[in-house]
Structure 1
C-alpha cells in the first residue's frame, strides 16, 4: 500500500498538476491548505489527486489528518513553511522545527544566525517602525536594499540611495496591512552588494541542494539572466556560467549557510551574489526554487518534487552527480513597473522557429490590465536548450531582439493614454 504524504499547499508552490506528476503515481497524497482566494481556486484541481483539508488551525488540521495515518509531510511553498511546521509538530512528523523555520522565513533572523555562525557578515537592520530608520541607515550605509522581513518574488523590494526617499518608502510599506508574506510584518534594510560583470549573464546564482539527516548534497548551480530594476528576475539556466573555482566557493558558502540555519531535511534554494570580492549570501530558502524542477526534469530526468516527497518519507533515494552538462534555459519577461494595459506581443512565431527554442508560453493576453509594481510578474516564458552557455547567450540575445511588447499607459484616471512599444531587451526599463 502506498505511503501517505501530507502536502501543505499555498500560493507560490509548484503547480498542482506538477505536484501530481511528481507524487500521485506512487504516494497517497492528502492536501492541507489555509483559507485564501488562491487555495480556494485551486481546491477543485487538488481534489482530483487526493483529499483536501482547508483550515487555518494547525491543531484542527492535525486532528483531521490523523485518520489517514500520515507517514510524512512536505511543502513546496514559502508561504506555507510556518503552517507546515506547526502541523508537522502536532503530528510528530519530521520537518523543519519552529526555530529553523523562523530562520528560513525571517530575513533578519537569518542574517543574525549566519553572522553568529561566522558564515556571512552582510550588514542588516530590522525596521519595525519609522523610528528605526536612522539607526538602520547608520548601520548599513547607502545604497542599501529595503525589503519585507518576510517576503518573496521581489515584492516591495527597493534599492535606496537617498535617506529621505528611503524614509518615505518605510512609512508607506509599514502602513500596508501586508508589506510581505505576513500581516503586519517588519522590514529589513540590508547592505547593497555590488556585483561583478558577467557579460550577458546575471551577477548572481542559486545553489539547489537536497538535505538528508543534515547532510547537504548539491544538485546544480543555477545561472541567471540579468535582473532588471529594481530587483526583478528575467530567467535562469543550468549549468551556471561560472568557472570551477568560483562555483565551488559559491557551493561552499551555500552549504555552510544551510548548516548554520539548522536545516536537517528537504530541498534548499540558496541565492548567492557574485561580487568583485567573491561570493556573498543573498538568502537561503527552505523549499524548491521557482522553475527549478522543470530544469531538473529536462537536464537530469530528475523530478525534484518527487525527490522532496520521498525524502520527507525517509526513503533513501539516490541523487545524480552534480550537473555540468548541456545548457537548458527559461527566459521570461516582467511586466512594466507602471500600471498599464498589454496591447499585444509581436515576434512570437519567429521566436518559435529559433532552433534553440523548444517552447513559448504566454501568461498574459492582449487587453490584460497589468497593475504595475516592483514585484516580478511574468508576461511570458521562453524555454530552450543549447550545447553550452556560450550558445545559450546567443539564443537569448536573438529572442530579446525579436519579441516586441506594446503597452498603453494612463498614470491616473482621466489622464491622456500613451502607448509604448519595446523589445524584450528594452522591456525591463519600463
Structure 2
C-alpha cells in the first residue's frame, strides 16, 4: 500500500518527487500561494497557514482518522520547524527537533560549533547599537549583522564602517529593538553544499559557487564549484562534522561555506534543498533528483545514496537584476524560444514595478538557467542571454526612461 505524507508549503518539486516515488500527498498551503498544477499531484489540498502548528496538528488528526500519515514533510524554510514539531508531537520520526532548532537559530548553531571546536567564527548576539559598535571595533575587516532566525538573506547587512553600522541599525526590524547576531566578516570564496543523510551517514551530493550582489543576496549559482581535490575533501569533512554536531540524521541539507585562507568556515545551514532552483541545477549537473530522495529515503521506499554522484556536466543560473523603476519594454527573449540548453523565465511586462533585490524573496524579475558539458559553458550561455535581453525601465522619480541591459 502506498504511503501518505503531509507536505507543508513549498514548490512543485517535492510533490513531483513524491509522485515519482509512489507516495501520496496531502498538501497544506495558503490559498492562492501554490501552483495550480499541485491539484493534479495531491490526494487533497488543505487551505491553512502551515506555520500555525496547532491548526495543522488538528488537520493531521483529521487525516489520521481517515488514513495513516507516515511523515510530515517540508522543504520550504518557514515549514521546516513546524514539520519537525509536528513529527515530534505525533511520533512520526524524522530529524530530532533539537537538530532542526539548531539550524534555524544561528546563535544556537554557532554555540554548537564552539562546543565541538569546529569552524571558529567570531560572533556575538547584540541588543544595543553600542554593543554592535564594540564588536565591530574588535575586528579588522568588518562585520555582518543578521537576524538569529532569519533566512533568504533578509535583513542581512554587510558593515565595513561605523557609519554603515549606524545606518544599518536604524533599518533593522523593529528599529533595532530586538537582538541581532553580529559575526565577523569572512573573506574568501563562498560556496554551498547539497548533502543527503541516511540514518546519520552524510553524503556530499553537489557543490555550487555563488554570485552575490552588494546586499549579499545570491543572484547566481554555478555548479559544480571550482575546487581542488584538497578543497573538496576539506569541504566534505567540515560539512559532515557540522551535520554530526547539530544532530541531523536524515534528508537533504543545504550548507553555506566560506573558503577562507584558514580553511572552510560554516556560514549557515538548513535541512532542505537550496533555493534558487538548486534542485534543478543538481539534476542537470549530477543527474540526481534530491526532491524525490527527500521523500522516498526517509520513508524506506528507496535506499539512500552511499557515495557522492559523479559530475555529469555543468549548470548555472543567473537572476535578472533590472534597474529599479517601472518596466517600459522587454526585448530579446524570442531569440531563445527554441533553445534546448537553457530555461528562460521572464515574467516582466510593461507596467510592472521593479525594486532593488534586498533578499532572495525579491528575485522575482526573471532568471536564466543553462547547462552544458562543463560549468564554464553553462555560465557563458547564461551571460549570452543576459547580454542579449534588454529590460527598459523608467525611474519612479524621473519622467524619462532608460534602457538597462542586464
Judge same fold: TM > 0.5, yes or no: yes
- Map 1:65-214 onto structure 2 (within 5 A): 65-67=63-65, 68-130=67-129, 132-138=131-137, 142-175=141-174, 186-195=179-188, 203-214=189-200
- Aligned pair 1:28/2:24, yes or no? yes
- Aligned pair 1:370/2:366, yes or no? no
Once the two structures are superposed, residues 343-391 of structure 1 have per-residue CA deviations (whole angstroms, 9 ceiling, x without a partner) of 2333323455778x42212132222112435113232121222222333
Residue ranges of structure 2 left out of the alignment (5+ in a row) = none
- Aligned pair 1:422/2:404, yes or no? yes
Aligned residue-pair number: 394
- Aligned pair 1:361/2:356, yes or no? no
- Map 1:4-403 onto structure 2 (within 5 A): 4-9=4-9, 13=10, 15-16=11-12, 18-25=13-20, 26-33=22-29, 39-42=31-34, 46-48=38-40, 49-53=42-46, 54=48, 56-58=52-54, 59-67=57-65, 68-130=67-129, 132-138=131-137, 142-175=141-174, 186-195=179-188, 203-224=189-210, 226-290=211-275, 291-319=277-305, 321-336=308-323, 339-351=324-336, 357-376=341-360, 377-378=362-363, 379-403=365-389
Equivalent pair of 2:314/2:376 in contact (CA under 8 Å): no
The CA distance in 2 between the partners of 1:128 and 1:65, in whole Å, is 43
Equivalent pair of 1:133/1:167 in contact (CA under 8 Å): no
Which residue of structure 2 lines up, in the alignment, with residue 408 of structure 1?
Answer: 394
SS in 2 for 1:69: coil
TM-score (norm: length of structure 1): 0.83
Which residue of structure 2 lines up, in the alignment, with residue 200 of structure 1?
Answer: none
Residue ranges of structure 1 left out of the alignment (5+ in a row) = 196-202, 425-430
The CA distance in 1 between the partners of 2:113 and 2:207, in whole Å, is 21
SS in 2 for 1:234: strand
Q: Structure 1 residues 103, 417: closer, same or farther in 2, change over 3 A?
A: farther
Q: Structure 1 residues 8, 230: closer, same or farther in 2, change over 3 A?
A: same
Q: How far off its partner does 1:105 sit?
A: 0.8
Equivalent pair of 1:362/1:380 in contact (CA under 8 Å): yes
Q: How far off its partner does 1:46 sit?
A: 4.2
The CA distance in 2 between the partners of 1:154 and 1:52, in whole Å, is 30
The CA distance in 1 between the partners of 2:131 and 2:32, in whole Å, is 38
TM-score (norm: length of structure 2): 0.87
Q: Structure 1 residues 233, 131: closer, same or farther in 2, change over 3 A?
A: same
